[in-house]
Structure 1
Amino acid sequence: MVAQKLNARGLRNLPVGDHADGGGLWFRQLPSGGNSWVFQYALGKRRLKLKIGDLSTLSLSEARSKAVELKSLVAQGVDPRNPKGLREDQRLSVAEAIELFLAEHTRVHLKPASAREQERLLKTEFLPRAGSLQLAELRPQHISQMIDEIERSGRGPTALAAYRQTSKFLSWCLRRKHWLEVNPILAVEPPKPPKARSRVLSDTELASLLRHVTGQRRASAVMVQLLLLTAQRLNDVCHMRWDDLDLERGVWTIQDPKSGVPHLVPLSSTALTILRSQPKVGAYVVSGTHGEKPFSGHSKAKANLDKATGIPDWRFHDLRRTAATLMRREGIGRDVVSAVLGHTSQSVTMIYDRYNLHKEKAEALHILSSVYHGILNQGLDKQLRTTAVSN
């Protein structure tokens, strides 16, 4: 019997490179901090490799079991990459089909702003959830799950937009390329257009939320702190890259996929302290995968915060509305708040007025940070007084 060369406890401490476990199973440690399980096998004279997961999806024992299954297929002359013997076009992955759709349709037939938005939604919402599937394996439940996860994170408009762009992509696969026999999205009810929300968190609710995230370095807590301090969208915060940040100048640049115009977000001293405390690994700042992928655990994070704070009926996007309301409460002008939020005016005056209000935005976000500090301190004082009385 060949002794196993890996042990579960030492996996994350292995140096960068490929590490054999026996039976065709290898563990690959990436320079970015990520990792993957790889099954190596031979069919005839061809030596092939197949990624079967990573530590977030497969433990060592599960990876070994998977390798045994795949080795059994190889012994029967079946290629694990194509166990069903599908035609070449049927073996096309969702990720490959999306790239072809973007190259042959989106970037050719759509205006630049529309093309950027279509590509953004497919790559940030649909691709991470279904990209590893073969196109022929795509089922209605995969699409339903995507919609449900987006809606649970409080991004109703994004859920509807993602559904529409996914529908266009799958229709192209069916009607133009004939890669599909049935369009799975036809069995999925489209999400209802979200009702306009007016929810603003009270100071008491904010104090409770701030107590649970302030000073914490876990990805979900950093995400919430940055949502509050920058007043930006959830998707933008989760996709923040180190390359987008100038920590010396204290500026975060967001590339607007709709207008193509960069949106400059001044960073308060509190926001800069949080960002400088994060380990600079991988491309993404807010990440649960060592910077390899943007943070995507919105639903779980929201459920944990609901349980910890008891705040009723709120969404992550409500934090953006709350921040805007607090800035207005402090006497900051509506035009400055609008500039902080990245809303662009289409008036004739704005065509000629190119001043970006950067100084005013920086002052507004500094004031907003101070407001949060005040709310947190008042909440802590109140909690201490309540505890003292009860004792």
Structure 2
Amino acid sequence: MSRIRLPYIDHFKDRHGTTRYYFRRPGGKRTPLPGYPGSDEFMRAYAAAEANEPPPETSKERGQPGTFDRLLGLYFASVDYKRLKAPTQRAYRLAMEKLVRDEKIGHRTVSGLKREHIKTMMADRVDRPAAANGVLKKLRILIKFAIDLGWRQDDPTIAMRKLKEGEHHTWTDEEIAVFEAKWPNGTLQGTAFALLLFTGQRLSDVVRMSWRDVDGAGTVIQVTQEKTGTKLWIPLHPDLTGALAAWPKTHFALVTTAYGEPFTAKGFGNKMADAIAAAGLPDRCVTHGIRKAAARRLAEAGCTTHQVASITGHKSLAEIERYTREVNQRTTAGAAILKIASRKRKEDEQGGS
């Protein structure tokens, strides 16, 4: 966060460890300035004080000074938060609110958070590594913001390690065939599955796809990923072309509810979970694993890491590189065994001659 230098500003730390700002000309009276430097409420109050006008009315601030409740209120109003993509904002708000509520720390001071407190929070979720790591990630964001506000000088999350997480299962070709047999072309579930598998996109992107995104020739679909904002132009796989040809163009969105409305990401996820269960597939088969299967298939077809990413839109290539390494290992191992078998046959033939 960049520093803002304004004349006649002074500050001090109260007993809660919170930095308080006020406006004061030499010999004049102190005028409290709410919020933090650069925030809308701070700048409005500063402008009024500089013009010798009454301070603007401010809405009641959340929580007591220096507490996690107050910190959340300030963070959700900050530039740091507002510059995030809308889905990330929603995810962060839900996760942070839940963390503060579950840990009952809304009334606790941010300056009082210790490393051992964070370790305890993570230990309570050791059976859910992703949840434990989510706690660490969100606290790091909030602590960094608190340091920017001057609420504390140290970061107790530094050098704390994440727990090792399990990975979503990558669908096998056999599992894909089972789903496609249950839900053929012409069904909502089959159309949705084809979009997921042959574009390699997330649930949140598939629900936003429309017929308008398919070019006039029916050869390319345009996608703007909600999570990253990445724009992709994905050639239609022949199987996806067939699935779309069998699907009626009765609505603007490619996949809709029974009422003709676009799905929410959550609603679409539930619909796919029901379809997967109805196909008799094991619990390990979840919708995100279809995206992983798309990346696996591309790697098995001989695509490079960057070629795979040009379809899936991955920013981090680590997972894709793992797929390509595994495919290369299988190919190399297969060639090695063939060489051994060929040599054995030659030796047998020579011995029998």
Q: TM-score normalized by structure 2?
A: 0.43
Ranked by relative contact order (alpha carbons within 8 Å, sequence separation 6 or more), the top structure is 1
Larger radius of gyration: 2
